[in-house]
Amino acid sequence: MSLPHAILTALLEKPSSGLELTRRFDRSIGFFWSATHQQIYRELGRLEGEGLVRASGPGAGRGQRKEYEVLPAGRERLREWVGQAQDPKPIRDPLLLRLRAAAVLGVDGLGEELARHRELHRAQLAEYLEIERRDFPPERAETENRLQHMVLQAGIQLESFWLAWLDQALEQD
């Protein structure tokens, strides 16, 4: 149910065409809520059909560039969703299950996969740190959107956790 909420949030931040929205997902929102371009376009159609967003601008006709904006009903739906209680989701990571299986099977060679995962997490952390450097410089810390920065900081801390954990796992291998 969160994809429509992610789209509503992104459009409230900045009305966008479908293409612009998919690019923004690729650069930011997709780091914590991924969606394919096809899913985004399909959901835009649903949101428009429910009267939560509207396509506007000179290209609002079929097959032309549309810019989507959130309507009051969409803003209210998002406001209701933000206020709802939701339990944390359990971790569901195939690497952890593979480690559990390796403990039973004694499979050698898992170290290469752990090292590969470590490199992927290192690269993601570097990307997050670059975004933080570029978009949230210390001199603007009080004026920037602190909640957006907190989302980024959660990603930074999560990647830092994975790096430390993978270092421990590699020592065990």
What pLDDT score does 173 carry? Answer: 65
Q: What is the pTM assigned to this prediction?
A: 0.76
**Would you give the end-to-end CA distance of the chain in angstroms?**
39
CATH-assigned architecture of domain 2-82:
Orthogonal Bundle (1.10)
Nearest to 128 by CA among 112, 108, 148: 148
Residue-wise pLDDT tens digits, 54-111 = 998 765 556 667 899 999 999 999 999 999 998 888 888 899 988 888 888 887 778 8
Residue-wise pLDDT tens digits, 106-139 = 877 788 999 999 999 999 999 999 999 988 888 8
* Rounded Cα distance, 51 and 70, in Å: 9
Domain-wise residue ranges, the chain: 2-82, 94-172
